[in-house]
Structure 1
Amino acid sequence: MFHARMLAAIDGARTLANMDELSKTIWQAHSGGAVDDDGAQALAEALHARRTTIRGALKPVGIPLGRQSLFPPKRPQRAPDRTEALSRRRRLAASGPMPPALACRFTVGQLSVLRIVADEIATKGVCGLCVDAIAARAGVSRRLAQGAIREAEGDGLLVIQERRHEGRKNDPNLVRIISHEWRQWIERGQTRKRNGFASRPAGTHRVQKDSPHGYPSSKSALLRAAEPKKGCREPAGDATTRDKIGIRSAGGNRRAMR
């Protein structure tokens, strides 16, 4: 009679909590001698089959998955002045960050990124800047900066040392230049700077105020150009040229030249 009553209760159960209560009741009855071993085993099998049916009928509740990282997600990086970022990108790419034979492989944005990396390596021997800092200085996006560095690494120009840490934030990667041609290009540029032959930035060349083309147009410069050099014999026509320049520099005093 107990066996039949339990079977009816198992068939009428609708939740897993009811099944747990019935299982507890069955095994308590088995301990008290109300049901034998075969009856308890048959009821346990019926419980298991009913649990499987109830679990299959349950629909999972849509619970949002948690973040995969303990750190807050990175915010998208945008330039405050898009026009200025574009100008800085073009200016850095046109400054000659690498030899022309290597530069032809990259775009303008990639060249601006590699210029920042090369300047950091020339100063400190290794580039330890984070990707966000490189992208901000080059005037490009974070993804473009990552792609430029990875592409240079794939071409055998750079080597990247990753610094990962378990359970805490990773350190910025260390970037080093292994291309012999590129390293010579950087060293040559540093030598020119030390010797005082560093080229001025684009658009800052010196122009004489009184000359539209930038040529020396002062009277003293013309006189110095007309004077004969030491150790050289003066040609026949130089005296006439010097006399004509002397007439102009005298401010119209023709009596001195008669």
Structure 2
Amino acid sequence: MNYAYEIRRQAEVAPRAALPAVASAMWKAFGEGHLSEAETEALSGLIEARQADTGTHAPKPLGTPRRRSGSRPCTDASMARRRRWAASGRLPPGIAARFTLAEQAVLAVIAVEVAKRGDCRLAVGHIAAIAGVSETMVRNAIREARRHCLLTVEERRLARFRSDTNVVCIVSREWCAWLRLARSPERGAAPRQSGGGCRSPQGTSTPVPYPVNLEGRRRQKGCRQLANGAGDKAASDIRKLSRTG
């Protein structure tokens, strides 16, 4: 059974009131391993697009080509970029759990830009290209983050039909503290000691189970000292013989 085709068919022909049941079946199939991550995101985008539709247009037949919706990446490189950004650790675990993989990638790109310059002024298409998602997913991620009171978006109108890029700022205290902790270079590092080296110059007292007689030790002479001692003894013997003779 092709679960992706069946769920797509139901999402295209089902009325809007039955779309929540189709979405529930989709997530159940994803949890059981019948759908891949890319297929699930594409189907989720299709269902969301159908739910956002006003209902004035009739559903398209199955054979009609349709425009792709959602944030399905076009290449494997886009999917790899999305996963790298989502796993970069730019969001606290409690905040990251509220978003999907694509939304986490978008918010990670925004967090890096905020950490560098204080705010994010990148265009929507620029963020989408970096994170490996679509422009629609970028807007959805920002809208969802604003709903959770994590971001603020300031629009910059230049003319009636022309605007500059929006200014996105992070206002969540938990998120800001997480970014400050990530920027700290000495996090968890031991204080460095001057002088270098890894051995301690101080000796350690090792207890022994038997008494040590340090006074009974005799200093052993080397070869040179033994030779000098033998010469001194021979000279003293010669002097003694000369006196007795």
Structure 2 length-normalised TM: 0.48
- Decide which structure has the larger Cα Rg and report it: 1
Structure 1 length-normalised TM: 0.46
More RCO (CA 8 Å, sep 6+): 2
